Structure 1
Amino acid sequence: MANMPRKRPHEDSLPEDLQKLVAHQIEASLSGRNKYIILAHPSMDHIKKALIELDPLSYTEVKVDWREFESGMPNIFIEEVHKLLPAHVLLLLNMRRKEILLDQLSLLYAIPRYGCRSLTVLLPFFPTGTMERVDREGEVATASTLSRMISAVPMTPGGPARFLIFDIHALQIRFYFQDSILPVLLSAMPLLLNLLKTRYASEDVAVAFPDEGAKKRFGGFFEKEGYPVLFCSKVREGDKRVVRVAEGDPQGKHVFIVDDLCNTGGTVLACRSELEKRGAKKVSVFVTHGVFPQGTAWLDYVGLSWQKFEGGGFDRIFITDSIPETCSIFEERKVSQGEKSHFEVINLAPALHTYLQGQVNYDAREAWRK
């Protein structure tokens, strides 16, 4: 009797949804993939869909009903919440607009309490990154404020939540987070490098930065790959401050102006004009975060900024899809103007997928280190 095999319950006796879950877990384990359940704010659906299309075995969606009470306050419901219990969860957030901040923080704090095995959060753009320090009394460093709010997320059974942030404006912000979470700083610069090595492989390319700070952050990454690196700086000429090429020669080259983010774009436009005067054959732009000004008529401001760049003399203007609101404006205008548009949106999903699956060399992280 002691040697008789234990009976296993017939799989037909298990609930259908549990059968599917067990089968999916077994398939993922045998394939060697890291399996994630994805929850996303509606504005981040484009990245969610791209990940699922890239690897359907690695990513499964759990839907969230982003309802509101009559008062306008959040009334959020996670469908099929039981699926979170044994799972590694990937949460896609967009905190660019303060009116949707409470909704997302509420979901963020709730997920670990439903027993997920681990929590990884994609926050591609850290929206208060440019206000990371106090230069005069009375200023408020909102980067510190948002870091504290994010750090309040509960621990998971697998440890602290990971927060993946692309091209944060100031590296020291990582130290604003408390030990309850793990900030992981990624970079979109490998996506640009892939463009240069494929689409622009036959051209004489140089990489320019609109200021010395950007060169310090990213210059070594491109220098190691053999690309000439330039940078511009603002100098005073009489009563004016003008942009000049401080280092490097753009003569006869297709120059890519590179930075982590772009607000009004005035410095980038001035840099393009100076590079052209110095003999650049063509000038393109790559920025991770196309921020652009906000205000009461934000969509109008974005449209005007977009038009300013469109007519600014650039060959191509690349941004990533880190800020969904900006990308939707660009895509709508691109559809209306057809191939006349100089803008092109680069999807972050492939770089995110590579990091999540631990494939090869962590290029998205190494761009910061070189």
Structure 2
Amino acid sequence: MKLICGNSNTDLAQSIAGYLKTPLAECLVRRFADEEVWVKIGENVRGDDVFVIQSTSFPANDNLMELLVLIDALKRASAKRITAVIPYFGYARQDRKPAPRTPISAKLVANLITSAGADRVLTMDLHADQIQGFFDIPTDNLIAVPAMVRDIEKNYDTGNTIVVSPDVGGVVRARQLAKRIKSPLAIVDKRRDKPGQSEVMNVIGDVSGKSCILVDDIIDSGGTLCNAATALLKNGAKDVSAFITHGVLSGKAVERINGSDLKELVITDTISATDAVKASDRIRVITVSDMFGKAIVRTANSESVSVLFE
């Protein structure tokens, strides 16, 4: 078994390697003067089971291209099997045609990864579960809930918590967390009656006096999450925290979180933390390296990965 990583999230790759007690294979990923990706695998991988660790986070196109070129290099070096380990799968939010003449970019990216030569995909908390079906190769979609549960049980009074989905679409994910920590469930219903009018946040469920835990897969600009926190407090919540798998946090998102009503934001390390994230006293990062490590071992040994969801 060999582990190889690109430049998108070297800290997570090192953590996974440390968990597995397997050093990362020698690999050079550089750029030509015109920013074309150049890759060289520094050791023999012929006949090996290779796992390429690379999130397709910002800069999404560069990191995606690195992943594709790495896979192609391994394929041409006669690796026995190539598993693309993509902790954060970019372009997942474009999983359908919401309007005429728009792409389904998630399917396009899935085709690219398959065509490049990947034999399997291992990822976490896809924005939509059906994206697994976009791949014509086996795809395992891990969930971050077990890592969140461990942190919540360690740092929160679960006897006075309520899990909240920030929108109707995230109810399934919120229910998974609520069931594990034996907490009730609430939903924030967001609606805009007319174009140009501000959104109205209606809270479905009794949050009065409770410590609310918002849970979602992605936080990008942070606007929806911050507005949901304010709505929950107006409905009598004691305090509001958020647990999000992928901390995209683009633009002024960190600044928005720092000035919001959120007690804290907890994200995983599927995306490499920026300096702004590291400097924030409102944002905390938990690792999912052990989950990926266990999944990699089970994949290499042809064992079930689904037990990690239990």
What is the rounded CA distance, in whole Å, between the counterparts of 1:281 and 1:107 in structure 2? 49
What is the rounded CA distance, in whole Å, between the counterparts of 1:197 and 1:256 in structure 2? 12
Q: What corresponds to 1:166 in structure 2?
A: 124
Counterpart amino acid of 1:317?
L
| Corresponding residue to 1:93 among 49, 54, 63 | 54
Instruction: Tell me by how many angstroms 1:221 deviates.
Output: 4.4
Instruction: Tell me by how many angstroms 1:333 deviates.
Output: 2.0
Instruction: Tell me by how many angstroms 1:349 deviates.
Output: 0.3
Quick one: structure 1 residues 331 and 225, their matched pair in 2 at CA, closer, same or farther if it must change by over 3 Å? closer
| Aligned residues of 1:320 and 1:347 also touching (Cα < 8 A) | yes
What is the rounded CA distance, in whole Å, between the counterparts of 1:168 and 1:264 in structure 2? 18
What is the rounded CA distance, in whole Å, between the counterparts of 1:116 and 1:105 in structure 2? 15
Question: Any residues of structure 2 matched to 1:306-317 within 5 Å, and which?
Answer: 306-317=254-265
Instruction: Tell me by how many angstroms 1:331 deviates.
Output: 4.4
> Is 1:211 matched with 2:167?
yes
What is the rounded CA distance, in whole Å, between the counterparts of 1:201 and 1:306 in structure 2? 26
> Is 1:118 matched with 2:58?
no
Question: Any residues of structure 2 matched to 1:88-237 within 5 Å, and which?
Answer: 88-96=49-57, 97-154=60-117, 161-178=119-136, 181-201=137-157, 204-236=160-192
Three-state SS of the structure 1 residue aligned to 2:231 is: helix
What is the rounded CA distance, in whole Å, between the counterparts of 2:186 and 2:307 in structure 1? 22
Aligned length: 302
Three-state SS of the structure 1 residue aligned to 2:38 is: strand
Give per-residue Cα distances to partners, 1:233-258, cap 9 Å, x unaligned.
02456754311102x21122211100
Instruction: Tell me by how many angstroms 1:113 deviates.
Output: 3.1
> Is 1:342 matched with 2:286?
no
What is the rounded CA distance, in whole Å, between the counterparts of 1:236 and 1:145 in structure 2? 32
Quick one: structure 1 residues 224 and 53, their matched pair in 2 at CA, closer, same or farther if it must change by over 3 Å? closer
What is the rounded CA distance, in whole Å, between the counterparts of 2:193 and 2:112 in structure 1? 44
5+ long unaligned stretches in structure 2: none
Counterpart amino acid of 2:241?
S
What is the rounded CA distance, in whole Å, between the counterparts of 1:172 and 1:311 in structure 2? 35
Quick one: structure 1 residues 360 and 116, their matched pair in 2 at CA, closer, same or farther if it must change by over 3 Å? closer
Q: What corresponds to 1:259 in structure 2?
A: 216
Instruction: Tell me by how many angstroms 1:128 deviates.
Output: 0.7
> Is 1:38 matched with 2:3?
yes
5+ long unaligned stretches in structure 1: 1-35, 156-160, 294-300, 335-340
| Aligned residues of 1:52 and 1:60 also touching (Cα < 8 A) | yes
What is the rounded CA distance, in whole Å, between the counterparts of 2:107 and 2:142 in structure 1? 19
Quick one: structure 1 residues 153 and 318, their matched pair in 2 at CA, closer, same or farther if it must change by over 3 Å? same
Instruction: Tell me by how many angstroms 1:308 deviates.
Output: 1.0
TM-score by length of 1: 0.75
Instruction: Tell me by how many angstroms 1:148 deviates.
Output: 1.0
> Is 1:244 matched with 2:207?
no
Q: What corresponds to 1:32 in structure 2?
A: none
Instruction: Tell me by how many angstroms 1:112 deviates.
Output: 2.8
Instruction: Tell me by how many angstroms 1:231 deviates.
Output: 0.8
What is the rounded CA distance, in whole Å, between the counterparts of 1:173 and 1:230 in structure 2? 26
What is the rounded CA distance, in whole Å, between the counterparts of 1:258 and 1:85 in structure 2? 43
What is the rounded CA distance, in whole Å, between the counterparts of 1:282 and 1:363 in structure 2? 34
Give per-residue Cα distances to partners, 1:27-49, cap 9 Å, x unaligned.
xxxxxxxxx31110123211121
Q: What corresponds to 1:47 in structure 2?
A: 12
Q: What corresponds to 1:68 in structure 2?
A: 31
Three-state SS of the structure 2 residue aligned to 1:107 is: helix
- RMSD of aligned alpha carbons: 2.3
TM-score by length of 2: 0.89
Quick one: structure 1 residues 67 and 174, their matched pair in 2 at CA, closer, same or farther if it must change by over 3 Å? same
Three-state SS of the structure 2 residue aligned to 1:306 is: helix
Instruction: Tell me by how many angstroms 1:322 deviates.
Output: 1.6
What is the rounded CA distance, in whole Å, between the counterparts of 1:61 and 1:166 in structure 2? 21
Mean CA deviation greater in 234-243 or 346-355: 234-243
Quick one: structure 1 residues 356 and 75, their matched pair in 2 at CA, closer, same or farther if it must change by over 3 Å? closer
